Structure 1
């Protein structure tokens, strides 16, 4: 019976040591990848001063934006994930749906065409490859919908679709959100030339702040102030939008779970394996040698 215990200790020690080696080498790269089965809905709310083209007057509205993001698992690969995103902007009033298909609905403020893009599953940067993105789709660069795993305290290039290029998202410090440490990033644009309405050029300004959970790169909280005017300076849109409180709380909760899972795989498992594995191997080996020595003395 004692001999079996010795072999169990040796086997368990070897298993823990191998698990530690795999967790610290292969597993780290395997788990720090954007999943290809995402189907998420993000809720924002705020206010907008918007030009009513029918009356020519600027109307003050309470608005809500709902962003629908889904991955195409069939088009994605081990290294690249393909996304489709649609963001619907609606009047925020009782009984109004998050989105509608009827573009003549009076509660619909704006709904652009679906946006298809591909990003690297490791660093989050846009992939400019016709294999993944249709030739007629906008070719993006930089970060699009998340930051990289193990986000650093530095500036990153972030995509702005209105001007069709990247802008520097500047690191501004750390901040706790629902007990979760986040990195704060901001980018600001002022009076940029842009197509403010389909077929109409004008000026565009944006002040966007994002709070990022650094280990996963997830956007926990977001606030933005967007202004669009016609070329002559006449107002078209002045909008403040932010993740709803419920959305921020949900994001923080999900991020905590994801961080715990990553820490378990990349931290706890290797630590336990590298400490207990060799100890159990040595104990099992020593006890096995002792049992063999005892057996030979008994036989003599």
Structure 2
């Protein structure tokens, strides 16, 4: 019986050991990748306004912004995620939806971007076959940082300026109970089209608060201005993720952290440690059973007259 149990333990231990080793070696490269089921809306709020063409003045008031991001699953593959991102900046007047029509007077700015990123590094990859011909080629990070982000400078794409700028690590900061790495992107006097066919310049000071484990953007602040070539200010804007958006991002990141820890830490520990213990236990049982002789008894045989049987 001990031999059977021992062999079963050895078999179970081997299974657990292999599972633990596979989880330790193979799983991180699989789970630490951008998912291809992204379909999210990010909300920001703040103060802003654009120039009134009739008066040449800017009336600053409450504004809201949204970024609708989806993965094109058909265009994506095991290595690359293809994103469609639509951004809308609107006056905070009435019941404002995630975006409004182009003729809605509340709309201040709107844009749609197509881009493809490496699912491991999060860096933008060459457009190639992933996005339609004629799409602007972006570079650097866009909508997330890589897993296990470092305290270093990363290239960060700014769609308004059409160029990647340095996102420089600044500090660690707590956001609603989560430790984040804060990176700063500064853009000064970048030449842009303030409106179609209207040249001007663009300034932005942006801080991005990153969960270093998952690379998720937890919070983002942006202070930007746009000027006509004449020097007239065309846009004045201060934006930040809403409090609710920050809370949602923290909750999502913590859920993803727990899933990562389960796959990359606990399953390997339980598998390897449990497998080794089961194998050792099984071997000991088999060896112990093998040492027992068939005629071993726990008590001596006694004849009816009280004499003991001779030992073999």
TM-score, normalised with respect to structure 1 = 0.94
Runs of 4+ in 1 over 6 A off after TM superposition: none
Return the offset for 1:54: 4.6
Q: Does 1:45 align with 2:41?
A: no
CA distances 1:271-297 after superposition (whole Å, capped 9, x unpaired): 222222212101111102212332645
Which structure 2 residues correspond to residues 138-217 of structure 1 after superposition, within 5 A? Answer: 138-217=136-215
* Structure 2 CA distance for aligned equivalents of residues 135 and 295 of structure 1: 81
Report if aligned partners of 1:90, 1:98 keep a CA contact under 8 Å in 2. no
* Structure 2 equivalent of residue 103 of structure 1: 102
Q: Deviation digits for residues 155-180 of structure 1, max 9, x if unmatched?
A: 10101112211111000111122221
Instruction: After TM superposition, list the pairs within 5 Å mapping 1:110-121 onto structure 2.
Output: 110-112=109-111, 114-121=112-119
Deviation at 1:97, TM superposition (A): 2.0
Q: Which blocks of at least 5 consecutive residues in structure 1 are unaligned?
A: none
1:8-19 to 2 correspondence within 5 Å? Answer: 8-19=8-19
The correspondence for 1:249, drawn from 233, 247, 250, is 247
Deviations 1:21-44 (A, max 9, x none): 111111110000101111001000
How many Å separate the matches in 2 of 1:248 and 1:7?
53
Kindly indicate whether the alpha-carbon contact (under 8 Å) linking 2:69 and 2:86 is maintained by their aligned counterparts in 1. Answer: yes
Answer with 1 or 2: which has the greater Rg.
2
Tell me, in whole angstroms, the C-alpha distance in 2 between the residues paired with 1:9 and 1:109: 68
The aligned counterpart of 1:222 is 220
Equivalents in 1 of 2:280, 2:294: separation in Å? Answer: 21
Q: TM-score of the superposition, structure 2-length normalised?
A: 0.91
In structure 2, how many angstroms separate the alpha carbons of the residues matched to 1:139 and 1:147? 19
Q: CA RMSD in A?
A: 1.7
Unaligned runs of 5+ in 2: 298-311
Which of 271, 279, 291 pairs up with 2:289?
Answer: 291
Output the CA distance in 1 between the equivalents of 2:280 and 2:22: 21
